[in-house]
Amino acid sequence: MAAFVIKSLVSQITVKHSPSDHTSSIIEIKSALISVKRRCGSKIPVLAASIHSENDQSIQAQKKKNGNAKNIQSNLLQDAEYDVASKDAHPRPLSSTHLSNSVSNGSCLRVAYQGVRGAYSESAAQKAYPNCEAVPCEQFDTAFESVERWLVDRAVLPIENSLGGSIHRNYDLLLRHRLHIVGEVKYAVRHCLLANHGVKIEDLKRVLSHPQALAQCENTLTKLGLVREAVDDTAGAAKHVALQKLEDTGAVASSAAASIYGLNILAEDIQDDSDNVTRFLILAREPIIPGTDRPFKTSIVFSLEEGPGVLFKALAVFALRKINLTKIESRPLRKQPLRASDDGNSGLPKYFDYLFYVDFEASMADENAQNALRHLKEFATFLRVLGSYPVHTSMV
């Protein structure tokens, strides 16, 4: 019986596959990782990482061969301030059929995002699914795992920003988890400088926010002479300033965060560039069926043998077929990041082995795209399609 282990910050999940049925699996969780409070009509349920004692009841889930899941349980936590409790029972896992119906008839989906209420990711989730329950998660890892464990239906996570660049953590998690990209959403980010009521700009000595947000507002913050301190997310910074009633500290976050946590907006649109757009990926357990009725984008990841011109050959399979590449990102191969020297002189590592993440403008329903990947597979040492999904063009 084969087994593999996924480790997170707060728990260990072991998935055991039956040798006679590769589609069924049993998930054993040594400590409760996620608690959910759900209200279908509300947009503020809670999904948080937690650590429980050895006496806590383990969560067990079993996904059946027909695609349905049953008996997923989780312990409920008391809500922190600004969170709203729900008295509903544990959320029930949805089959893939149930999911497709819920999307088509407009019923609310549970959509995970990283951060707390007021985060830009929450706004992106609501833009992607206007009638959804936006479910906050403490970490990116938690959002991935909550989809895998059927606690939510989708995850909406940032992958790149027009000013700050790529979110490398999520590129690594895309490979670690077996989720599929089913869509994208682009969201125009407008940063505000927030502080408690009665606090003026000249009273501030430091400012808290996510590293990306601080980088996007570097010019403004430098002119104000503020010390920058990085935290996990923008809305979390606003929440901390409000809860601690800080008088010398501000936060860079959204106007929605100011409204939620009762802060005053000292300055609006403080980002260095007005064209500040973050691209988010929509992740699900099952891929969507690509079509050719509208523009599609496909995301892949692959690795290559080291050698002169190998990357050129890999990219040429798209150029030869007039397929446009919109993104290429390289990440060191985590299991074997360094390759030994070939010259035999020192025996020290000489160069990195890389994974290449590529987005191209074509649907996997297009035979031209299929031929390109067949060609690439001839010399790629590893190739995986992360998803083929409709292109999102709105920036509102």
State the alpha helices, DSSP H only, in 166-206: 168-176
DSSP labels, 115-141:
SSTT-HHHHHHHHHSTT-EEEEESSHH
Among residues 142, 220, 234, 278, the one annotated as catalytic is 278
The single residue of 144, 280, 296, 318 carrying the catalytic annotation is 280
Provide the 10 A C-beta neighbour count for residue 275: 9
The single-letter DSSP state of residue 351 is E
Beta bridge partners of 35: 48
Q: Return the closest-CA partner of residue 146 out of 93, 82, 218.
A: 93
Contact 184, 280 (CB under 8 A): yes
Q: What is the 8-class DSSP label of residue 178?
A: -
**What is d(CA 210, CA 227) in angstroms, rounded to the nearest whole number?**
14
278: annotated active-site residue: yes
Residue 98, H or E segment: helix 96-104
| φ and ψ of 38, to 5 deg | -125, 135
DSSP of 14-75: EEEEETTEEEEEEEEESS--EEEE--TT-S--EEEE----TTSPPPEEEE-TTS-EE-----
What's the DSSP call for residue 221? H
Buried b (16+ CB within 10 A) or exposed e, 196-233: beebeeeebeebbbbebbbbbbeebbeebebebeebbb
Distance CA 301, CA 329 (A): 9
The type of residue at 141 is: D
Our answer to whether residue 142 is catalytic in this structure is: no
Residues marked active site are found at 278, 280
